[in-house]
Chains A and B, each alone.
Chain A
Amino acid sequence: AEMKNVLFIVADDLRTSLGCYGDPVVKSPNIDHLASKSQVFLNAYAQQAVCAPSRTSMLTSRRPDTTRLYDFKSYWRVHSGNYTTIPQYFKSKGYFTVSVGKVFHPGIASNHTDDYPYSWSIPAYHPPSFRYEKEKMCKGEDGKLHANLLCAVNVTEQPGGTLPDLESTDEAVRLLKSRVNNDDPFFLAVGFHKPHIPFRIPQEYLSLYPIEQMKLAPDPDVPKHLPPVAYNPWTDVRKRDDVQKLNISFPYGPIPKDFQLRIRQHYYAAVSYMDAQVGRLLSTLDALGLADNTVVVFTSDHGWSLGEHGEWAKYSNFDVTTRVPLIFFVPGVTTFLDWQGPSTFPFIDVLTQPEYSFQNGKVGKNVVELVDVFPTLSSIAGLGTPQSCPDVSFQEELCAEGRNLANTFRYGERG
């Protein structure tokens, strides 16, 4: 059959705090709408709860013990093996592949090139305003600018009057429009920077989560029998100016309860802000008439602790940091086009329509992993699935340590 395009969307540090995963607090109508037409894997896990290792493992379908990347400081092609990536595989099959935003972890881990030209047809796009992300951009109570964790801003006052994910979405929309009349199928990967810290987000999204409605994590204390080696002391959170001012004791804290509520409020607001960008992207795909021959994958690199077990951030093996959303929209398989009605992906403005609810499409409950994405997506696109890797595969350029899940889309799960 005709080759399908692929829109591959990766959020940064997004736990399963989405309506379609049963989170009662968050407002994520656009991702929930996607899920209502998709296969939703309810129990998907990352191989390591930190950016670079997780992303390299997902995009090569090799576990960290094969990529030998446990930090951010090595490039797998130099350090362990010349492993083929998902975009590289699609590119080799005639796809125009392009990266927008944070797909590979930038820097050493992707050879300072986002693995271009191996993985991408053109150099990767990075939003110019990301250079301010760690700068003093946040107005404090003193009216001065700080490098805060909690950084809801008036976007018009930010440099360039924009934010990284707004720019990434603009670029992805531009690229989609440029592909409409091109016969070559495209593989467009869009990596959103939110809800990764700092929570530098448009302030209007905070209004969706009134602080008086926020609650602490259900289990905010460090568990009694937790081995000290398992505990993550959330050092990156501590480094932000507004957290430093709280003089929190190391390693166990705790963070003052009112500030815990504000962190949770900002995280959820960041999710709704990112959801709106996903909505802009999907509604453009639809408006251009591309929704009926484009596979959409939505996932994240790992989760994030929101105070559970007295922890914040990722860096651990708890479910809240390893469990991720994993959603596959496959036209003609997870949804049938004549069911679509007027449009497949209308943009849902959460700021004016906060109370949207949806029924998931097909759900998978079996435990799956991010290393399964490569073989599954290849199979769905009809490109043939890479062989399973042997136990030791440092010499194998193209193989998968994950499983092909495509058959569960049609025939349901077994086991």
Chain B
Amino acid sequence: VNEEAVSFSQYPRPADTPQVNSDLPDLKDIKVMGYSLRSWDYRYTLWLGFDPKTFQVNVSDIHAGELYMLADDPGEDNNVYTAFDHSVIKKNMAILP
């Protein structure tokens, strides 16, 4: 009963800044993978270094982060990632499937 239902989504990017193939990079061009963990009250995303040859994610290579507290910010407009202590949620992310 204490389980918290969460969903995991992800999106690939070829670079840290928008470019023409940012929307749909070919596998060989993927450099960053954005992993999102979404629960009923927050959405937490880490954009991590990704190797398309080995399909390995480098969890210590954090390119950017997002954190939206949905009760006050249902539209996900106010990213509070930089203002947050991430030890707890990163532990959650460590259970990434």
A-B interaction: yes
B92 — which chain A residues lie within 8 A by C-beta? Answer: none
Residues of A within 8 Å of B39, CB to CB, are: 367
Contact of A68 with B79 in the complex, beta carbons under 8 Å: no
- The answer to whether B9 touches A227, judged by C-beta atoms less than 8 angstroms apart, is no
Specify which chain A residues have a CB less than 8 angstroms from the CB of B16 in the assembled complex.
227-229
In A46-90, which residues have CB < 8 Å from any B CB? 46-50, 63-65, 68, 70-74
- Complex: how many Å from CA A229 to CA B35? 12
Indicate if the CB atoms of A45 and B26 lie closer than 8 Å: no
Chain A interface residue bracket vs B: 35 or more
- In the assembled complex, A397 has its CB within 8 A of some CB on chain B: no
Indicate if A223 sits at the interface (CB-CB under 8 A): yes
Residues of A within 8 A of B5 (CB): 366-368, 415
Contact A227 B66 (CB under 8 A): yes
Q: Is B77 an interface residue (CB 8 A)?
A: yes
In the complex, what residues of B have CB within 8 A of residue A144's CB? none
Q: A47-B10, A229-B17, A365-B40 are in contact. Are A219 and B75 (CB under 8 A)?
A: yes
The answer on a CB contact under 8 Å between B55 and A71 is: no
Q: Which of A45, A72, A231, A391 contacts B18 (CB 8 A)?
A: A231
| Residues on A with beta carbons closer than 8 Å to the beta carbon of B82 | 225
Which A residues touch B3, using CB under 8 A? Answer: 415
Residue of A nearest to B16 (CB): A229
Query: Do residues A70 and B23 form an inter-chain contact, with CB atoms below 8 A?
Result: no
Q: How many residues of B contact A (CB 8 A)?
A: 51
The answer to whether A49 touches B45 (Cβ under 8 A) is no
Q: Is the CB of B75 within 8 A of A234?
A: no
B45 touches A232 (CB 8 A): no
**Minimum distance in angstroms from A251 CB to a CB of chain B:** 4
State the CA gap A13–B81 with chains docked (Å): 29
| A43 to B5 Cα, complex, angstroms | 10
Interface of A (DSSP majority class): loop
Mark contacts of A359-403 with chain B using CB atoms, 8 A cut-off: 1 yes-contact digit, 0 otherwise: 000000111110000000000000000000001000000000100
Closest chain-A Cβ to B67's Cβ sits at a distance in Å of 10
Within 8 A of A (CB), among B9-45: 9-13, 15-27, 30, 32-34, 36, 38-40, 43, 45
Given A231-B18, A367-B6; A315-B23 close (CB under 8 Å): yes
From B26, B38, B75, contact of A73 by CB (8 A): B26
A260: Cβ under 8 A from any B Cβ: no
Instruction: State whether A230 touches B7 (Cβ < 8 A).
Output: no
Task: Write the nearest CB–CB distance from B23 to chain A, whole angstroms.
Answer: 4
Interface: A133 (CB within 8 A): no
Q: Known: A49-B9, A233-B18, A415-B2. Is A315-B64 also a contact (CB below 8 A)?
A: no
Given A43-B40, A229-B13, A365-B40, verify A317-B34 contact (CB < 8 Å).
Answer: yes
Which residues of chain A are within 8 angstroms of B18 by Cβ–Cβ distance?
A: 228, 231-233, 250-252
Query: Using Cβ atoms and an 8 Å threshold, which residues of chain B touch A308?
Result: 75
Q: How far is the CA of A233 from the CA of B18 in the complex (A)?
A: 6
Q: Is B63 part of the contact surface with A, judged by Cβ < 8 Å?
A: yes
Interface residues of A (CB under 8 A from B): 43-50, 63-65, 68, 70-74, 218-219, 223, 225-236, 250-252, 308-309, 313, 315-319, 322, 365-369, 391, 401, 414-415
Task: List 21 A–B pairs whose Cβ atoms lie within 8 Å, in order of A's numbering.
Answer: A47-B10, A48-B11, A50-B23, A65-B55, A70-B12, A73-B26, A74-B27, A218-B75, A223-B77, A223-B79, A230-B45, A232-B22, A232-B23, A235-B23, A236-B23, A250-B18, A251-B18, A308-B75, A365-B40, A414-B1, A415-B4
Give me 10 other A-B pairs in contact (C-beta within 8 A), A229-B13, A233-B22, A317-B10 excluded.
Answer: A50-B23, A65-B55, A65-B97, A73-B26, A219-B75, A227-B47, A229-B15, A229-B64, A232-B18, A315-B23
